[in-house]
Amino acid sequence: MKKIILITVLLAFNHSFSQITIEGFIFDKSTNESLPYATVQTVSKSNKNYYTISNEDGKFEINVELNTDSLLVRTIGFKTKKVPISYFKSNKTLYLSPNIYNLNTVLIVAKKDKNYAYNLLSSLIKKYQNKKRITSSKAFLTLTSSARGIPIEIVEGFYNSKQSLLKGIVDFKLKGGRFGQKRSFPFYSLNNTDILKDFQLFGKASNILPLYPGNLSSGAIKWKYKVKIDSCNNCSNQDISISFKPKRPSGRFFSGTIIFNNKTQTIKKIQIDIIDPKIKRLAAIEKNDIVTPKSIKININFNPVDYEIIQSIDFELTMYYKSTESFEIISSNSFLYFYDYNKPFEEPYFTNNIDFRNDYDKIMALQSSDDFWNSNYQFPKSFKEEKAIDYFKNNGYLINYNNNTPASYLSLIKPSILPWRKDRLADWKNIKVTLEKTRNKKSSISGVDPSGELKGDKVFYSYGDMKRYMTNQKGKEKFNFSYALDSYFKKGEIQFVTQTLFNRATSFYPYNRTQNKLIYIGVIFDIYEVFNRELKHQLKNITNFNDAKVACYTKFKEATDLVNQMKSDTELGLNSKKLKRWSERIKLKLNGNSE
C-alpha cells in the first residue's frame, strides 16, 4: 500500500515584519501517525532561503518573506515536492508521494557474495574517516525526562556547536537555556550533551558510549559483527540500507542501520541501539546517586540540503536511577537540532573566568530574555513538552521561563552560581566553609571540623582579639564575583543583557560566620550590582559586542576598586559602625538606580 503524507497548513500574516507565518502538521495519511523532523525550506527570488524541521509531533512553523516563491518539503523515503506559496491560499493540505523501491542489483549481488556487505560498509567508513572538515553552527536542544509516565525534568538550550563527519560534535558551548524539575524528585540528567560530544561518528578513540562499526577497523567489523543489506521500502533507487548486529551480545557494541546513497557514497541517516549497555564512565551529576543504563537509541540525521553536515541527533536513554531517597526507572530523550551553519551566536563574556560544573549552572548564570527565545525558537513545542511545562508550574519549578528565578528555589537546585537578588546572601548556607575537605588532621581554625562542616562560631572577647585573629588569617577567605554579558538581536538591532554573579563554587569563609560578616559580603555583592546597573544604561548607546565587552570590563574594575576601598575602610567588615554606613550608602544607590 502506498503511503500518503498530509500537511495541514495554517496561515498567519505578520504585517509589521512583512512576513507570512506558515504552521502545520506533517503526518502519514495511511496510518495517521506524525512524521517528525521533516525539512521545510523556503525558495525566494532573492536566494535568501530559510528552512526548519517539524517537531516530534510532526508540527512545523516557518516565517517566509513576502517575496518567497515556494516551499520545498523533504523527508527521507518520500519524493521532494515544490509548492508555490499561492497554493496555501486555497488549500490546507499538501500530499507527498513515497519513493517506490525496486529490488536493485546491489541487493541481488549481496545475496550471492557474502563479503559484499562487509566490503561496502568498510569502504563507506574509510571514506568518512577522511572527512575532517569542521563546520560551526547554532544548535537547539530539547530534553525531557519522565518516571512512571510523569515528567520530572525539561531542559531547553541554545548552543554554539562545531561538528565534523569524522568526530561528530567537537565543541558545544551554551548560549542560554532554561529548565524545569519536579519538586519532590529533583532529578538532573547526565549532561547528555557531554555524552553526545564524546561520541565519535567515525573516530577510533574510546567513547563513553558503546562502539559501533564506524569506530572500528575493517577487520574488527568482520570479527565482531554480522552485516547485511536490507530491503528499504521507502528508499530511493540509489539508496541502500545496511544493518549490523553484534555476533555475541556483550553490552559493548551497538546494533543499527546506515542508510546511504550508493552512487555518491553519501550517508543520509544512522540509527543505532543497544540493550543493557556496559558503560563504566557514566555517572550522575548528583555525586551519591547511582545510574545503571538499560537501553540507548541514537538517530543521526544528515541535512538533506547538504548531506556533508549533521542536521539533528535524537538520543533516547532509559536508566535505573537510585538516589538516597528513591529508586526510579527514568526515560530521558534529547533532541539536538543544528541550524544557521557558519553563523554561530556571539558567545557570552564573563569578567572573571567561571568553571561551570554543568549546563544547569550556566543556565542559572545566563537568564535569557523572552525576546531572545521568541526570535530564536526553531520549531513549536511538542505536546509532551507543553504537558511537562504545565505539570512543573503546579508540581515543580521552572528556571528562566519568566526571566526570574524565585529565591525559594535555591534550596532545591543548589546552584554554584548565584545571580544578584535582594537578600540573596542572607543565609550562610549560600557560602562554603572551605573549598576542600581536610583529612586526617585537625583544622587550625576553631569551629571547623575536619569534614569541612562548621560546628560553631569562634568566640572573640575583644575587638583587638578579633583584629589580630583576622590579620593572622589573611588570605584564608575568598569571595569571587563576576559580570556576565550576553547579546541577542531584536528587529535587527543588538540588545545586551548583563548579570552580577556570585561564584559559590570558588568562594569560602571558614571563621566567625556572624550576621555582621554576612552583611559585609552582601555589601560587596550590592556594590557590584550598583555598577552593573550603570553598565546597563551605558550599553544602550553601544552597537557592537566588542565595545560592550570593554565597557563591561571597565565597569567591573571600577566596582572592584570601590569594593577594595570598602574593605579597607571597614577593616574587612570588623568595624560595625563604618560597615553600617557603607551598607546604608549602597542601599540608597540601589534604590536610586533601580532597573
pLDDT per residue as tens digits for the range 215-266: 999 999 999 999 998 877 667 778 889 999 999 989 999 999 999 998 899 9
What digits encode the pLDDT tens for the residues 372-429? 888 888 888 888 888 889 998 888 888 888 656 666 666 666 778 888 887 666 678 7
Three cell numbers written together for 89:
491560499
Give the Å distances, CA to CA, from 169 to 182, 197, 400, 470, 587.
30, 5, 26, 50, 47
pLDDT at 10 over 70: no
Position with higher pLDDT, 583 vs 18: 583
**Contact (CB, 8 A) for 242 and 227:** yes
Cα separation of the two ends of the chain:
63
Multiple choice CATH, 5-96, 3.40.50.1370, 2.60.40.10, 1.10.1040.10, 3.40.50.720: 2.60.40.10
Distances (CA, A) of 156 to 103, 333, 538: 43, 12, 31
Examine the pLDDT at 177 and tell me if it is beyond 80.
Answer: yes
At residue 444, does pLDDT exceed 50? no
Cell triple for residue 287?
A: 555525586
Mean pLDDT of the chain: 82
pLDDT band for 471, please (50, 70, 90 cuts): low
Burial 552-577, CB ≥16 within 10 A → b, else e:
beebbeebbebbeebeeebbbbbbee
- Beta-bridge mates of residue 301: 269, 312
- The set of cell numbers assigned to 452 is 569541612
The whole-number average pLDDT for the span 482-508 is 91
- Dihedral angle computed from the Cα positions of residues 438, 441, 445 and 446, in that order, rounded to the nearest 10 degrees: 120
Give CA–CA dist 143/153, Å, rounded.
Answer: 8
Judge whether 261 and 106 are in contact, CB under 8 Å.
Answer: no
pLDDT at 458: 35
Query: What does the DSSP assignment read for 466-502?
Result: HHHHHHHTTTS-EEEEEEEEEEEEETTEEEEEEEEEE
User: What integer is the mean pLDDT of 456-478?
Assistant: 49
531 touches 555 (CB < 8 A): yes
**d(Cα 65, Cα 159) in Å, to the nearest integer?**
26
Q: What share of the chain is helix, strand, coil (3-state, %, to 5)?
A: 25, 35, 35
Domain with CATH 2.60.40.10 in the chain: 5-96
Cell of 556: 567591573
Burial of 506 (0-12, 13-18, 19+ CB in 10 A): middle
Q: Is the model's pLDDT at 528 over the cut of 70?
A: yes
Span of 62-76, 114-128, 446-460 with lowest mean pLDDT: 446-460
What SS3 state is found at 224?
helix
Instruction: List the grid coordinates of 336.
Output: 539536538
Burial of 472 (0-12, 13-18, 19+ CB in 10 A): exposed
Model pTM score: 0.83
Most confident of 85-94, 280-289, 328-337: 328-337
Amino acid (one-letter) located at 18: S
More confident residue, 114 or 426: 114
Asked if residue 66 lies in contact with residue 19, where contact means CB atoms within 8 angstroms, the answer is yes
Q: What is the pLDDT of residues 23-35, one digit of tens each?
A: 778 777 677 777 7
Percentage of the chain lying above the pLDDT 90 cut = 42
pLDDT the model gives residue 120: 93
Beta strands at 327-339 and 135-147: parallel, antiparallel or unpaired: antiparallel
